[in-house]
Structure 1
Amino acid sequence: MADTGTAFDIVVLGAGSGGYAAALRAAQLGKTVALVEADKVGGTCLHNGCIPTKALLHAAELADNARDGAHFGVKTTLEGIDMAGVNQYKDTVIGGLYKGLQGLIKSRKITVIEGYGRLVAQNTVEVDGTRYTGEHIVLATGSYARSLPGLEIGGRVITSDQALQLDWVPKSAIILGGGVIGSEFASVWKSFGADVTIIEALPHLVPNEDVALSKAFERAFRKRGIAFNLGVRFQGVTQDDNGVHVTLEDGKTFDADVLLVAVGRGPRTGGLGYEEQGVTLDRGFVITDERLHTGVGNVYAVGDIVPGLQLAHRGFAQGIFVAEQIAGLNPPAIVESGIPRVTYSHPEVASVGLTEAGAKEVHGEDAVEVLEYNLAGNGKSKILDTAGFIKLVRQKDGPVVGVHMIGDRVGELIGEGQLIVNWEAYPEDVASLVHAHPTQNEALGEAHLALAGKPLHAHN
């Protein structure tokens, strides 16, 4: 018989972005909280996802700057990529954030329980033989790097988990999947000097974005020398001491040092007792209502295990939402379309709200108006030597329902885009705001000026 642990107001199963956010906010609201984690608090985002990949991308940007310094009148040479140094920098960033998060959790008097947790009753989690009861349970077990049926990971066939630990730069790489993860690694490895080929079964790279952004992204990657094959499915791979040999269904073959499998992430829900306790799963995802309740007892779910965008900031927001819901604060439900999305490659892609096609589906073919503002007309973009554009989607005679951007550093602009979409601003509302000059941010202001019918630097 299992030992009985302590009873808590809330037991959170998983300490990634969604889980630790729920724990921190609940503790702030006076709840007693147990946070169960088999690995390290911070989860995939901090240790094997967002943070380490963005550290690599920053190192890649520095490599490009060193390589292209003469263009700006700065004579520089790139002696090479020291992966030991890059990894030390990456790990230092992770270590600092990890230490800070541990301190924050300790200061909130959250009980961290190390080990694999399993839901054994609607109000009980068992960890290594000890049971912990919670008046409320929050499932936040996150996701794993998915593969394809029959495609085994090992050797030179790797996922992002192994790619982040490489202590060498591949001379050539094939990337299976042209979504966010695949595109970011393609960008890094190209900047580090590798020959890169992306294989994507869908018709476009970053296929979840507005098609105008996807096409512009493809042009930018093509200009950088990143090759890609679209609309063709992967068939198989063999590997030997010389590398990998990849075959597509159309008969094309490719050879490279490594194959990175970046076909998305699967929900980590198997074998955790969810279904046995009545929680509904669909293809492994936990089904909830808009309040993130599972329909079982006082069990909630947040983050990558809930169908929708698999983004750390979505999980973080859901964790806060559930803690406030449990505390009786009745927070407003999170609107999925209002969550910003960023691909941190070179160039960056950032968006929030509905795509043009999505808006036409919701509001009607003739009830949508779009505008594209070229960053060539923006002074700061010219200084940074970046190309791209901002695309606005509005309901005709109504609010802006989508903001889509491509260009270096546009991810830093999505904050205002998020406010515009979520607060249902009209173009005229944004056009009246004064944006600092010279910034890329003012391109958002100018785009809304144009959409409001009074373009300054853009043509009517």
Structure 2
Amino acid sequence: MPQAADGSHTSDLVVLGGGSGGYAAAFRAAELGLSVTLIEKDKLGGTCLHRGCIPTKALLHAAEIADSARDGAKFGVRSTLESIDMPGVHSYKDKVVGGLYKGVQGLFKQHKINVVAAAGRLVSPTAVEADGVTYEGRHILLATGSVPRTLPGLQLDGERIITSDDALILDRVPESVVILGGGVIGVEFASLWRSFGAEVTIVEALPRLLPTEDASSSKLLERAFRRRGITAHTGVRFAGVTRTENGVVVSLEDGTAIDAELLLVAVGRGPVSEGLGYEQAGVTLDRGFVVVDDYYQSSVPTISAVGDLIPTLQLAHAGFGEGILVAERLAGVAVSPIDYAGVPRITYSEPEVASVGYTEEQAAQKYGADGIESFVLNLAGIGKAQILGTSGATKVIRKKDGPVIGIHIVGTRAGELLAEGQLIYNWEAYPEDVAPLIHPHPTLSEAIGEAHLALAGKPLHVHP
């Protein structure tokens, strides 16, 4: 990397932040022949690898193993669940994270990216300063991510009132927990803690859990959670919390008081932008998010932003796509804006909730209630679902006499089915295009095939 007489360093691209969006941009830019410097004060891989996607899914897999051990008798296997060994669970989780972390580090070396392990700050439209050194770039990419939010006046203490970051390293299974927030993070922790044996209560101010998902998916999840013994207070606001000798008492605005060992605050994540010099460099912010156009360019032409720092889907794979798009744009490759409706969304609870495209409500608003058709396939009619002992449904929504515009799945391993759903939506396939495709039997993927057969007017294992 060239060094100027004043001690500054110059690259084609300087990336501030080494999470999903930042490192995807760095890798792709390097592949396209650009020189890249990436500045990261923490571990490469960011929230997803170290405090989000990977460790939470490792915990959820351990929870699945616990459920299998506990419920073995349903399948003729006599098994008992003696206990949850949290040090052992964390050892397994950390081994998974550690292996992937080594892989990411190796990719940085392979791409010959200059990695600066330090806190960085934007000091001009073309420069970031870290540890007293200035790193100049023809272009700057901001990818500083997000942190857990809290509510005004709600003080976190990391002991009784905690965030998802704290929950990931908790050294025990709480006897009881109240989860404030019924979105993805809250639902996933509710699921895993219940599998580990905790008493779980969710509080969600909006009328249903997973409020951004299709209403039918939320209803199926809530029904499944009730069967599992998870209590949900929806449509009611949090009023306050008091610490007690043994835990907390959570108060709701309807007068309900809930005693628990812990309160997990899972009300979303906010962007990390304060104090990093963004506004001083001319970057426009909105509620802390960097305002960008469809190609992730900020109000300053030499500065782009991706990932949780911009108000798009807070998903690692969305960040990958955004970072790649920026790198290709800078290298002169033709790019197209991302259709966020076509980005898969998965909640890894038990049951899982997976979707791509529009919800039925969104589709009706866009095309009119008479301009869409939908079909719901109950998983009870799918042989593999019976074998696995899962329940749920697949909903497919199409434009009237047109392509598929939404697929929603609830059930065990629903997320694994969504890859096909993503292709169907993004390739604007008609149900009549999908219906002739023969899905393997017995598999859960038949739920996709059967639903499209029905919408195409030739149902197979569907009662009229």
1:357 is aligned to 2:333: no
**Corresponding residue SS for 1:366:** helix
Q: Give a deviation string over 1:220-263, Cα, whole Å, max 9, x none.
A: 00110000101111111111330011111111101101000000
Paired residue for 1:325? 329
1:255 is aligned to 2:259: yes
**Corresponding residue SS for 2:301:** coil
Please tell me the residue identity of whatever aligns with 2:310: V
1:39 is aligned to 2:42: yes
> What is the alpha-carbon distance in structure 2 between the residues aligned to residue 420 and residue 270 of structure 1?
40
1:58 is aligned to 2:61: yes
> What is the alpha-carbon distance in structure 1 between the residues aligned to residue 292 and residue 334 of structure 2?
17
Please tell me the residue identity of whatever aligns with 2:90: N
Paired residue for 1:18? 21
1:157 is aligned to 2:161: yes
Q: Give a deviation string over 1:28-66, Cα, whole Å, max 9, x none.
A: 111110011010000000000000000000000000000
> What is the alpha-carbon distance in structure 2 between the residues aligned to residue 56 and residue 381 of structure 1?
23
> Paired residue for 2:400, among 392, 396, 399?
396
- For residues 20-419 of structure 1, what are the structure 2 equivalents within 5 Å? 20-154=23-157, 155-419=159-423
> What is the alpha-carbon distance in structure 1 between the residues aligned to residue 295 and residue 387 of structure 2?
46
Please tell me the residue identity of whatever aligns with 2:156: I
Which runs of 5 or more structure 2 residues have no equivalent in the other structure? none
Which runs of 5 or more structure 1 residues have no equivalent in the other structure? none
**Corresponding residue SS for 1:89:** helix
Given that 1:83 and 1:167 are in contact with CA atoms closer than 8 Å, whether structure 2 keeps it comes out as yes
> What is the alpha-carbon distance in structure 2 between the residues aligned to residue 337 and residue 218 of structure 1?
24
> What is the alpha-carbon distance in structure 2 between the residues aligned to residue 136 and residue 432 of structure 1?
48
Q: CA deviation at 1:403?
A: 0.3
Given that 1:4 and 1:132 are in contact with CA atoms closer than 8 Å, whether structure 2 keeps it comes out as no
> What is the alpha-carbon distance in structure 2 between the residues aligned to residue 132 and residue 445 of structure 1?
53
Q: CA deviation at 1:107?
A: 1.0
Q: Give a deviation string over 1:117-158, Cα, whole Å, max 9, x none.
A: 111110101112111011011111100000001111102100
Given that 1:3 and 1:129 are in contact with CA atoms closer than 8 Å, whether structure 2 keeps it comes out as no
> What is the alpha-carbon distance in structure 1 between the residues aligned to residue 103 and residue 245 of structure 2?
42
Q: CA deviation at 1:459?
A: 2.7
- Tell me which stretches of 4 or more aligned residues in structure 1 moved more than 2 Å: 2-5
> What is the alpha-carbon distance in structure 1 between the residues aligned to residue 354 and residue 8 of structure 2?
45
What is the percentage of aligned positions where both structures have the same residue?
A: 64
Given that 1:3 and 1:131 are in contact with CA atoms closer than 8 Å, whether structure 2 keeps it comes out as no
Please tell me the residue identity of whatever aligns with 2:300: V
**Corresponding residue SS for 2:83:** coil
**Corresponding residue SS for 1:219:** helix
> What is the alpha-carbon distance in structure 2 between the residues aligned to residue 149 and residue 295 of structure 1?
30
Q: CA deviation at 1:436?
A: 1.1
> What is the alpha-carbon distance in structure 2 between the residues aligned to residue 330 and residue 298 of structure 1?
18
Q: CA deviation at 1:4?
A: 3.5
**Corresponding residue SS for 2:8:** strand
Given that 1:201 and 1:230 are in contact with CA atoms closer than 8 Å, whether structure 2 keeps it comes out as yes
Q: CA deviation at 1:3?
A: 6.3
Q: Give a deviation string over 1:302-340, Cα, whole Å, max 9, x none.
A: 101111211111001111111111111112211111100
- Pick which of 297-306 and 35-44 moved more: 297-306
Please tell me the residue identity of whatever aligns with 2:140: I
Q: CA deviation at 1:442?
A: 1.5
Please tell me the residue identity of whatever aligns with 1:35: L
Paired residue for 2:426? 422
- Give me the TM-score of the superposition, normalised by structure 2: 0.98
Q: CA deviation at 1:433?
A: 1.0
Given that 1:123 and 1:297 are in contact with CA atoms closer than 8 Å, whether structure 2 keeps it comes out as no
Please tell me the residue identity of whatever aligns with 2:144: T
> What is the alpha-carbon distance in structure 1 between the residues aligned to residue 455 and residue 7 of structure 2?
63
> What is the alpha-carbon distance in structure 2 between the residues aligned to residue 3 and residue 439 of structure 1?
64
> What is the alpha-carbon distance in structure 1 between the residues aligned to residue 173 and residue 191 of structure 2?
13
Q: Give a deviation string over 1:370-423, Cα, whole Å, max 9, x none.
A: 110111111111110000000011110100000000000010011010011111
**Corresponding residue SS for 1:4:** coil
**Corresponding residue SS for 2:405:** strand
Please tell me the residue identity of whatever aligns with 2:125: Q
> What is the alpha-carbon distance in structure 2 between the residues aligned to residue 459 and residue 298 of structure 1?
59
- Give me the TM-score of the superposition, normalised by structure 1: 0.99
Q: CA deviation at 1:69?
A: 0.4
> What is the alpha-carbon distance in structure 2 between the residues aligned to residue 7 and residue 250 of structure 1?
59
Q: CA deviation at 1:295?
A: 2.8
Q: CA deviation at 1:443?
A: 1.1
**Corresponding residue SS for 1:92:** helix
